[in-house]
Amino acid sequence: MLRLPTLTLHAKSILAALATILGVAAGMYADTPSVNSSLDDLDSYLLDRELYISQRNKRIDSLKTNLQLLDRGEPMWFAAMDEISEAYSAFNNDSLLNCYNTAMEVAAGQGNDSLRISFKLKILAHLPLTGNISETVSDFESIDTTGFSKDMQILYLDNARQMFNYISAFHRSNPAVAQKWKSREMVAKRKLMELLPPESPKYQYCQAEYLFQTGQYEQSKEVSLKLLEKISPESNLYARVCHNLADIASLQGNESERIYYLTRSAVTDILTATLEVTSLQELGVYLFNHNDLSRAYTYLYVALENAVNCHAPLRVLEISETLPLIERAHYTQNRTSYRLLLYLLIAACLLLLLLAVTLVVLKRQFNRKTTLQNRLEGANLTKEIYLSQFLILCSSYVDKLNSFNQLVKRKISAGKVDDLYKLSKSSRFMEEQSKEFYEVFDNAFLHIYPTFVEEVNKLLLPDKKILLEENERLNTDLRILALMRLGMEDTNRVAHMLNYSVNTIYAYRNRLRNRAINRDSFEADIMKISSI
Does the residue 386 lie in any domain?
yes
DSSP type of residue 6: P
Which candidate, 441, 436, 423, places its Cα nearest to that of 397?
A: 436
d(CA 45, CA 50): 10
d(CA 27, CA 295): 29
346-349: Cβ within 8 A, 24+ apart:
348/308
Q: Residue 481: which residues within 8 A CB-CB, separation 6 or more? A: 452, 456, 512, 526
Q: Residue 61: which residues within 8 A CB-CB, separation 6 or more? A: none
Q: Residue 500: which residues within 8 A CB-CB, separation 6 or more? A: 476, 508
Does the residue 208 lie in any domain?
no
Does the residue 515 lie in any domain?
yes
DSSP calls for 127-185: GGGGT--HHHHHHHHT---TT--HHHHHHHHHHHHHHHHHHHHHTTTSHHHHHHHHHHH
* Contact indicator for 467, 445 with CB cutoff of 8 Å: no
The number of folded domains in the chain is 1
Q: Given this model, what pLDDT does residue 136 score?
A: 92
d(CA 448, CA 442): 10
Question: Along the 532 residues of the chain, how does pLDDT read in single tens digits?
Answer: 444 443 333 333 333 333 333 343 333 333 445 778 889 999 999 999 999 999 999 999 999 999 999 999 999 999 999 999 999 999 999 999 999 999 999 999 999 999 999 999 999 999 998 888 888 999 999 999 999 999 999 999 999 999 999 999 888 889 999 999 999 999 999 999 999 999 999 999 999 999 999 999 999 999 999 999 999 999 999 999 999 999 999 999 999 999 999 999 999 999 999 998 889 989 988 888 888 888 888 898 898 888 888 887 877 777 777 767 666 656 666 666 667 778 888 988 998 899 899 889 988 888 888 877 777 776 666 666 666 666 566 666 666 666 767 777 787 887 777 776 666 665 566 666 677 778 878 887 888 888 999 999 999 999 999 998 888 889 999 999 988 888 888 888 888 878 888 999 999 999 999 999 999 999 899 998 887 6
Give the number of residues written for the chain. 532
Does the residue 271 lie in any domain?
no
Which candidate, 271, 342, 275, places its Cα nearest to that of 308?
A: 275
Does the residue 30 lie in any domain?
no
Q: Residue 495: which residues within 8 A CB-CB, separation 6 or more? A: 501, 502, 504, 505
Does the residue 385 lie in any domain?
yes
**Host domain of residue 429:** 381-527
Q: Given this model, what pLDDT does residue 518 score?
A: 93
Q: Decide: helix, strand or coil at residue 394.
A: helix
d(CA 57, CA 43): 23
| The dihedral formed by the CA atoms of 377, 379, 381 and 382, expressed in degrees to the nearest 10 | 160
**291 φ/ψ sector (left φ>0, alpha ψ -120 to 50, else beta):** left
* Contact indicator for 288, 330 with CB cutoff of 8 Å: no
Q: Given this model, what pLDDT does residue 130 score?
A: 85
Does the residue 356 lie in any domain?
no
- Widest CA span in the chain: 128
